[in-house]
Amino acid sequence: MATRKEQLSIGEYYHIYTRGVDKRKIFCDNSDHTYFLKLLEKCNSDTNVRIDRPHINSNNSKILTDVLAFTLMPNHIHIMMYEINDRGTSKYLHKILTGYAMYFNKKYKRTGRLFESVFKNKHINEDLYLRHLLNYIHFNCIKLVNKNYKSKELFNEKIELTQKEILFAKDYSYSSYGYYCGTRNNSIVTRKLSF
């Protein structure tokens, strides 16, 4: 996996995203999602992690970065992060993306890259953008039930979500939205935003 040209700064928020090479599906069934969620939980540690042998993972480790929100889509992922350690986010994502690509390639008997490139990031430098991004990430899954949904319009506040769409997002298992709504336990989000 290539290294980042620019470093993320401690004490700053970032929108992290990546997708499958050639826009391919990276989650083909529920077990793929479950494995990736396990990686999101277990890899946020300064020690090595073994998903297949959880009993050897260290309990005395410190987290690499703060995760604020996430959603997993069929061919891409979005994560909102807060950098708390030098290169913490990069180390965390390297462990996740490498581990998941190895799992995926073995399971589906394939070789080569799974993700397009090194993860992309956008610095979040305004409070308003931070608020909108939280909605953008959590409501991205609505595209799965409403092909006409344009999540970018949330930034311009041109659309209103239907009750059915909000319930779908709340019940979507591969997102942190249920945690923010209080309907699902969390073991991934390490810093909760409150406005």
pLDDT in tens, 71-100: 999 999 999 999 999 999 999 999 999 999
Q: What is the pTM (predicted TM-score) of this model?
A: 0.88
Contact criterion met (CB below 8 Å) for 141 and 172: yes
Phi, psi of 81 (to 5 degrees): -125, 160
Contact criterion met (CB below 8 Å) for 37 and 112: no
Mean pLDDT of the 140-169 span: 79
Contact criterion met (CB below 8 Å) for 47 and 61: yes
Task: Report the candidate in 20, 31, 28, 34 with the shortest Cα–Cα distance to residue 114.
Answer: 20
State in words which class domain 13-181 has. alpha beta
> On the CB side of 164, how many CA atoms lie within 13 Å of its CA?
5
Mean pLDDT of the 32-47 span: 94
> On the CB side of 135, how many CA atoms lie within 13 Å of its CA?
19
d(CA 137, CA 15) in angstroms, rounded, equals 9
On the question of pLDDT at 109 being above 90, the answer is: yes
Question: Which H or E run includes 88?
Answer: helix 88-107
On the question of pLDDT at 153 being above 80, the answer is: no
In percent, the amount of the chain with pLDDT more than 90 equals: 65
Residues across the chain: 195
pLDDT of residue 192: 75
